[in-house]
């Protein structure tokens, strides 16, 4: 693998995100697309970073010791793959992620995971602000239905689309999984 190969950053693919109680979501194919990306990175021996949210709230599904805080089995890190734990939505805040990437000379990232409008968007904004070149795999991320500040219910598709619009061009390129995989060849 070339030194300048992008790192694959998979955000919060933990068991509680697969629980139906998490709410209505979009992109039912997101997990399959994340798996395609992960297989491609593993096949090329590219750098993979798994981000895990560890909540400070004992009532959260992300709380340490809760089954929901564990990685979904299909996305469990393998030996040699880096794991970053975070307590806030942004994977770069109060973590060693930036240093880990810089020490390895990694300047490009491909981001996938959940949820598009929270941890993905926060992390991508920071990465862009820190000077990393970022691509977001739009169909390998998903969001949940959410009320906006006026109380209007927004569909998961609307939340996802707006979040990607916030990131496009300013902080990252937004691409499909197929386009990203095509760039690797």
pLDDT tens, the chain, 185 aa long = 345 689 999 999 999 998 888 889 999 999 999 999 999 999 999 999 999 998 888 887 887 888 888 999 999 999 999 999 999 999 999 999 999 999 999 999 999 999 999 999 999 999 999 999 999 999 999 999 999 999 999 999 999 999 999 999 799 999 999 999 999 86
Per the CB < 8 A criterion, the answer to whether 113 and 12 are in contact is yes
**Global pTM value:** 0.94
Q: Report phi then psi at 62, rounded to 5.
A: -90, 5
Place of tokens 């469990």: 76
Which helix (H) or strand (E) segment holds residue 113: the answer is: strand 108-114
């Amino acid at each position: 693998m070339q030194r300048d190969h992008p790192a694959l950053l998979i955000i919060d693919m933990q068991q509680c995100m697969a629980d139906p109680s998490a709410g209505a979501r979009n992109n039912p194919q997101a997990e399959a697309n994340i798996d395609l990306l992960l297989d491609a990175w593993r096949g090329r021996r590219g750098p993979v970073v798994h981000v895990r949210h560890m909540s400070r709230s004992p009532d959260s599904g992300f709380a340490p010791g809760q089954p929901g805080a564990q990685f979904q089995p299909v996305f469990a890190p393998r030996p040699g793959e880096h794991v970053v734990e975070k307590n806030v939505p942004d994977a770069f805040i109060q973590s060693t992620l930036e240093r880990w990437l810089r020490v390895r000379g990694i300047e490009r990232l491909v981001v996938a995971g959940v949820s598009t409008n929270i941890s993905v968007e926060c992390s991508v904004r920071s990465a862009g602000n820190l000077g990393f070149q970022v691509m977001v795999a739009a169909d390998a991320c998903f969001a949940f239905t959410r009320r906006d500040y006026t109380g209007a219910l927004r569909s998961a598709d609307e939340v996802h689309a707006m979040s990607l619009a916030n990131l496009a061009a300013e902080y990252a390129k937004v691409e499909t999984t197929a386009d990203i995989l095509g760039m690797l060849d």
